Structure 1
Amino acid sequence: MQEYSILINLLIIIPFLSGLFLIFNHQNFLLSLIIKIIHFIFPVNFFYKFLRLKKNSKLKKNNEKNKKVKNYPELLVWIASFISFIISLLLFFDLKNGIESYNFIYNISREYNINYSLQINNLNIYLILLTNIISIIAIIESPIKNNINSNDSNDSNDNIVKNEIYLLNESHLDIKEENKSIVQNNIYYALVLILSAGINTFFLAKDIVLFYILYEFILIPTFIIIGVWGGKNKNYAAMKFFLYTFILSIISLVAIIFIISFLKNSDIDYISNNINIIPKEYTIWLWIAFLISFAVKIPMIPFHTWLPDAHVEAPTGGSIILAAILLKMGGYAMQKILIPFFPEISENFSNLIIGWSCFTMIYTSFIAFSQQDMKKMIAYSSISHMSYLTASIFAGTKYSQLAATIQMISHGLISAGIFLLIGIISEITHDRSISKYSGIARTNPKIAVFFIAFVMASIGFPGTSGFIAEFICLNAVFLNNTIYGLIMTSGMIFSAIYIINLIEKIIFGTSSIDSKAIKPLNFSRIITLSFLIFLIILIGLKPSSIFYEFPKK
């Protein structure tokens, strides 16, 4: 079993150290990034002159060294990301062949039994595999490499920072424009790798303290990706995303401290088995604290308002990570923490949560129908589809947890493809208005075929993963409550209406000027989209080939 310890830790160490190397390989851009973040939080200008005087002598010494920035780190990015993918694939096949789970534990605090504790099992392996697939796609869709950086902000504060950054670079470092792009590209790669390592650790965490640290840690690289490479309102979207999710997640920190003070142990399995030691009058408040902290990540109404803004302003790679991975963290946390810690309370309030999920689904479906921005429409659609997840988790039937897992994986694959295609469509014009596009089938038939395939999968077309996931989730809800099952079925109909309406408007009809400006798919994007479609159809036709708990008959 020693090899599993090595593999699990390599899954974290390789992308994390590779990311750190890329960041510290470009200290000057790191300095510029720190300046930008400080200025965003504390909008004062006097410290720039001091900072330049302080760093002036050091920067001059590095002048010749930095004139030519070699892009050899890109090779490191691909090696790290593919090794992580291969490791997750090996662990997946080992679990599929009969190994139930494996734990790795390193003690940090004996007094409170706080450990660096990791566990691989049939609940998290699918999400780890998804994380490493999506990370590779996010790397391919670099906002700098694909020339879709939307940093042309009109924000005066942002321009002040840009001027100071460029002044530092040009007057003291003489870095050429193309080299600046290489540096920014490598920093983006680094953030994706660090984010991938953090998410892998989150899914592997068996200690609740480690679980919470990683739950919050992933906010930092995501905040930077949105805040640096996002659209014109990126500062607002990044800060709203960070504050909304961070502040509401602090509630769970209070609950965790309370639990550890009672049980003197932070192991998740131990807490699940001994939570009854805590007086019952406290457990309901602990349950509510965890519920709110996890609901904001999914998200559920009224904790959802950060997501549309974050999606609209994020670069394509950032939107893919947000939709495909980050939204699943809340659902996984419910499966890992909320249900095992408080099974009785969760069962007693199951109808309330399923009803909440139904309301979220119907409400966001109506909002999605009224949107004119493609990204915002799919963002609201994602919230609607994540309602299947929460409803299934609390349905409490035999296959409800399996249904929730399949829905997470299915939505991750489908949403990644849709957001990638929206990024491709708006790559030249930087305009995602539905009214600006029509007749894409005439100008770019390959994009049209892929787009139709992904959006039809999102509404549960038979033969796709969307159909299997939503069918099992609906079955679980119907077994729990027929009325809620009918409401969720009507939600499917609403989703189909606005998706078909979207297809009709942008795919068919006379080609518009903006549709003619769309770049044709390159080879790497065709391979990426084809791979996602292959997985979606494979799960749709034979789910047991991926999900080995799925009944054969």
Structure 2
Amino acid sequence: MLTVLLILIPFIAGLIAFGLKGSGPKVLGMISSLATVVIAIGTWCTFRTTPDSLNFVANWIPQLGSQFRVGLDGMGVMLCLLTAIASLLVFITIYNRNYEKANAFYGLMLLSQAGLTGVFTAFDALQFYIFWELALIPVYFLCSFWGGEKRIAVTFKFFVYTFLGSLLMLVGIIYIYFQTPDHSFSFASFTGANLNPEDQKWLFWLFFVAFAIKMPVFPFHTWQPDTYEQSPTPVTMILSGVMVKMGLFGVIRWLLPVIPQGAAMWSDVAIVLCIIGIVYASCIAMVQNDLKRLIAYSSIAHIGLMCAAIFANNEQSLQGVLVQMFNHGINIIGLWIIVEVIQNRLGVKNLDQMGGMAQKAPRMAIFLVIISLANIGLPLTNGFIGEFLMFSGLFQYNHWFMAFAGLGIILSAVYTLGMIQKVIFGQGNELTETTTDLQPGETLALSLVVIMVLVLGVYPKPMLDLVSGTSEVVSKLF
């Protein structure tokens, strides 16, 4: 029942928020996010003792062989916890912000959280697809109504990409459904479907393209920088911190178990695309003057490494991916919180218009340095252990792949340290001279991020233990 509550609480709260006025929506959002964090922690504790109690099955559409089937393994627990924490951090950060039609804004944010949680808990393919769409639809409206000047064109591009990807996945789901022995959408039936190597050869691309768009992986990435730039920053936090993990999750949960031979056939091609994306996105990030676009391209490079490590397909690389999914989500949300603070204070995103902010906002400067160093995988920060395991796994698979992917570490350090220098060091200007330091809510949110950065950097064992079962099972699939 805990698993169902993770979906129901934000879903019901989101519907209620549409009818509230004044400060009601933001208070409800805060209460809902706190409740889901508590329940997510409860699922972690329950998973360690009685994992079967996290499964729930109910009749839904029996005529189609589809049931409402939710459950959690270590990966699901981790991603539900990330989703809950991300939502809480967002609501803390924006609590003192005023949004036009706040009831709709908070309602859509909560519905998106419900959809994301549904994706990470679904063990029925049709249910997975419905939640996949439910997570995306609110984001479309959030970007359309509260985005930047170019929001309409950018949101349309985002919609076209995601719609085409979802359509391809739906075709694959329907085809596999008819190959199952009992004409069922259940995960067990899909993994036991009668798919010969030729079927898997083309089915792989239906699912991979859908998941690659969501991550995104080169060359399906072009929607992402524009969308991150034009979306309201709280939405960007969810997009980059949690929603991109839908693609990685889809590969691990559905693509590898259901189409293992197809994945084995095309793994080298997938890794090459990921490595091209790592180097390309890192090089583009190095020449960016727009802070939001720099972080957007940085995210493409980090996700590309995670996707490459998945297809290296050994237990070490997969465990690194699963740990890094959580840690990257925390780190990138921390960076977006700082972007929100800077944009709120200065009204600009151009790095050339910043500088000297350490003098006027020392707390913000300290947080920016710590989170940025975690984002490039400095030892004793949470970003290190996942990257170490992923590169180790890639080396076991192919040392040349690891060498080229490793360029991302060097380039990441270049553009990240350059960004730090331009934002907080150097001489101030008319804009930065009037900057004020963090407000209490912003300080609280960033403090929580830094605590997780340092604790999981020094002692990553709880997270490694949580995902070890998933990495062990998946690594034996092909």
Q: What TM-score, normalized by structure 2, do the two folds share?
A: 0.94
Tell me the secondary structure at the aligned position of residue 148 of structure 2.
Answer: coil
Question: Residue in 1 aligned with 2:8?
Answer: 13
Asked if structure 2 preserves the Cα contact closer than 8 Å seen for 1:107 and 1:113, the reply is no
1:101 Cα deviation (Å)? 6.8
1:467 Cα deviation (Å)? 0.9
Question: Residue in 2 aligned with 1:77?
Answer: 29
Question: Residue in 1 aligned with 2:271?
Answer: 354
Q: In the aligned structure 2, how far is the partner of 1:348 from the partner of 1:280?
A: 9
Q: Which amino acid aligns with 2:97?
A: N
Asked if structure 1 preserves the Cα contact closer than 8 Å seen for 2:169 and 2:210, the reply is yes
Question: Residue in 2 aligned with 1:316?
Answer: 233
Q: Is residue 493 of structure 1 aligned with residue 410 of structure 2?
A: yes
1:70 Cα deviation (Å)? 4.7
Question: Residue in 2 aligned with 1:128?
Answer: 80
Tell me which structure has the larger Cα radius of gyration. 1
1:155-166 equivalences in 2 (<5 Å): none
Q: In the aligned structure 2, how far is the partner of 1:280 from the partner of 1:482?
A: 28
Asked if structure 2 preserves the Cα contact closer than 8 Å seen for 1:457 and 1:466, the reply is yes
Q: In the aligned structure 1, how far is the partner of 2:53 from the partner of 2:253?
A: 14
Q: In the aligned structure 1, how far is the partner of 2:28 from the partner of 2:345?
A: 29
Q: Which amino acid aligns with 1:389?
A: M
1:98 Cα deviation (Å)? 5.8
Q: What TM-score, normalized by structure 1, do the two folds share?
A: 0.81
Q: Identify which range, 226-235 or 405-414, moves more after superposition.
A: 226-235
Q: Is residue 393 of structure 1 aligned with residue 310 of structure 2?
A: yes
| Sequence identity (%) | 30
The counterpart of 1:265, out of the listed 175, 178, 184, is 184
Q: Identify which range, 343-352 or 261-270, moves more after superposition.
A: 343-352
Q: In the aligned structure 2, how far is the partner of 1:74 from the partner of 1:423?
A: 17
Q: Is residue 103 of structure 1 aligned with residue 72 of structure 2?
A: no
Residue by residue, what CA displacement relative to the aligned partner does 1:375-430 show, whole Å, maximum 9, x if unpaired? 00000000000012101111111222221111111110000000110111121332
Asked if structure 2 preserves the Cα contact closer than 8 Å seen for 1:446 and 1:521, the reply is yes
Q: Which amino acid aligns with 2:8?
A: I
Asked if structure 2 preserves the Cα contact closer than 8 Å seen for 1:364 and 1:383, the reply is yes
Asked if structure 1 preserves the Cα contact closer than 8 Å seen for 2:317 and 2:391, the reply is no
Tell me the secondary structure at the aligned position of residue 221 of structure 2.
Answer: coil
Query: What are structure 1's unaligned runs of at least 5 residues?
Result: 27-68, 150-180
- More helix as a share of residues: 2
Tell me the secondary structure at the aligned position of residue 347 of structure 2.
Answer: coil
Residue by residue, what CA displacement relative to the aligned partner does 1:121-177 show, whole Å, maximum 9, x if unpaired? 11111000010111112223449x425x6xxxxxxxxxxxxxxxxxxxxxxxxxxxx
Asked if structure 2 preserves the Cα contact closer than 8 Å seen for 1:106 and 1:115, the reply is yes
Q: Which amino acid aligns with 1:146?
A: R
Query: What are structure 2's unaligned runs of at least 5 residues?
Result: 469-478
1:111 Cα deviation (Å)? 4.2
Q: Is residue 284 of structure 1 aligned with residue 178 of structure 2?
A: no
Q: In the aligned structure 2, how far is the partner of 1:509 from the partner of 1:256?
A: 55
1:500-511 equivalences in 2 (<5 Å): 500-511=417-428
The counterpart of 2:360, out of the listed 434, 443, 451, is 443
Question: Residue in 2 aligned with 1:178?
Answer: none
CA RMSD of aligned residues (A): 1.7
1:281 Cα deviation (Å)? 2.2
Asked if structure 2 preserves the Cα contact closer than 8 Å seen for 1:96 and 1:548, the reply is no
The structure showing larger relative contact order (alpha-carbon pairs under 8 Å, at least 6 residues apart) is 2
Q: In the aligned structure 2, how far is the partner of 1:384 from the partner of 1:74?
A: 34
Question: Residue in 2 aligned with 1:170?
Answer: none
Distance of aligned partners of 1:226 and 1:550 in 2 relative to their CA distance in 1, 3 Å threshold: closer
Q: In the aligned structure 2, how far is the partner of 1:70 from the partner of 1:333?
A: 39
Q: Identify which range, 399-408 or 314-323, moves more after superposition.
A: 399-408
1:203-214 equivalences in 2 (<5 Å): 203-214=120-131
Distance of aligned partners of 1:457 and 1:73 in 2 relative to their CA distance in 1, 3 Å threshold: closer
1:298-337 equivalences in 2 (<5 Å): 298-337=215-254
Asked if structure 2 preserves the Cα contact closer than 8 Å seen for 1:437 and 1:515, the reply is yes
Asked if structure 1 preserves the Cα contact closer than 8 Å seen for 2:13 and 2:28, the reply is yes
Distance of aligned partners of 1:456 and 1:185 in 2 relative to their CA distance in 1, 3 Å threshold: same
Asked if structure 2 preserves the Cα contact closer than 8 Å seen for 1:312 and 1:375, the reply is yes
Distance of aligned partners of 1:265 and 1:420 in 2 relative to their CA distance in 1, 3 Å threshold: same
1:73 Cα deviation (Å)? 4.5
Q: In the aligned structure 1, how far is the partner of 2:377 from the partner of 2:26?
A: 38
Asked if structure 1 preserves the Cα contact closer than 8 Å seen for 2:316 and 2:392, the reply is no
Distance of aligned partners of 1:547 and 1:279 in 2 relative to their CA distance in 1, 3 Å threshold: closer
Distance of aligned partners of 1:549 and 1:10 in 2 relative to their CA distance in 1, 3 Å threshold: closer
Question: Residue in 1 aligned with 2:166?
Answer: 249
1:550 Cα deviation (Å)? 6.9
Q: Is residue 345 of structure 1 aligned with residue 262 of structure 2?
A: yes
Q: In the aligned structure 2, how far is the partner of 1:73 from the partner of 1:215?
A: 25
Question: Residue in 2 aligned with 1:22?
Answer: 17
Q: Which amino acid aligns with 1:437?
A: M
Asked if structure 1 preserves the Cα contact closer than 8 Å seen for 2:82 and 2:326, the reply is yes
Asked if structure 2 preserves the Cα contact closer than 8 Å seen for 1:388 and 1:407, the reply is no
Tell me the secondary structure at the aligned position of residue 167 of structure 2.
Answer: helix
Distance of aligned partners of 1:93 and 1:237 in 2 relative to their CA distance in 1, 3 Å threshold: same
Question: Residue in 1 aligned with 2:40?
Answer: 88
Q: Is residue 146 of structure 1 aligned with residue 97 of structure 2?
A: yes
State the aligned residue count. Answer: 466
Residue by residue, what CA displacement relative to the aligned partner does 1:507-552 show, whole Å, maximum 9, x if unpaired? 211112222233310111111101111111111111112332578x
Q: Which amino acid aligns with 2:33?
A: S
Asked if structure 2 preserves the Cα contact closer than 8 Å seen for 1:124 and 1:204, the reply is yes
Asked if structure 2 preserves the Cα contact closer than 8 Å seen for 1:100 and 1:121, the reply is no
1:100 Cα deviation (Å)? 6.1
Question: Residue in 1 aligned with 2:89?
Answer: 137
Asked if structure 1 preserves the Cα contact closer than 8 Å seen for 2:309 and 2:317, the reply is yes
The counterpart of 2:69, out of the listed 101, 107, 117, is 117
Q: Which amino acid aligns with 1:377?
A: L
